[in-house]
Structure 1
């Protein structure tokens, strides 16, 4: 770990050298050309120039294609996502395209599930905090504290605190 890391300058590397690398070719090709704003054209070129890498990726369950589609999907405007699916389906079978797109849909479902869990936890914590404030207000009322003082300490509304006395 004491040696300096040597980074590869993909911009200066000829496409032919990248394309000879079998499975990594798709990643390096995309990284080299990512600055080009037309993501759909880049995907078309990726399928055209990386046929051998695509065959290797097919054997691996399209792990590279799935990762690259996830990345691209986040970068593409929603109105262009269907065009990306068309490009993919133009180069892969219907079953392969469906599997890749289903995998991406599953990712979004999982992200939504995680967001729902986080929101539920936040609401649960808010409810617990509110319940704690109410218990404190009740205890203060029993001990003769004034409603305005309880409101100042707990942040509860004075009318609500007054209703707790009933």
Structure 2
């Protein structure tokens, strides 16, 4: 399991470095979602357009655009792979790297406790107006920090999965030495 924690920490570090190195682009996508979320929960009738289905669709489109940019940027230097091999390769990675995936899941649970549960406990005793303001700021901040970082992290894990399975496929093609 130590190897799993080591691999998970290394992948977390790669994601963190990518996040900070590309933060200007990440913040640009996140700022759009932050503005929508901030306006939607502010309770001000002037910004009612930001709530409801329209606001949710806007945020979903922004996140999908971010994910497309992220995949393109993270996978830019990767070797092309036939789509037919994707499921087999990922299955092989999951089977061979369960400790790393479990450690990553544990790290994600830890981050959830820190960035979701703790703020909710701190805001529990706020008045309704203060709680609405708190929620607006919390969502605005998370849209440029926690949410895009988790997307970067999970995409980094997917890239590592494809890299690892790619190396395994290369080894399978090599003739066995006698």
The alignment's TM-score, normalised by the length of structure 1, stands at 0.30
Structure with the greater relative contact order (CA < 8 A, sep ≥ 6): 1 or 2? 2
Q: Which has the higher helix share?
A: 2
Q: Which has the larger radius of gyration?
A: 1
The alignment's TM-score, normalised by the length of structure 2, stands at 0.28
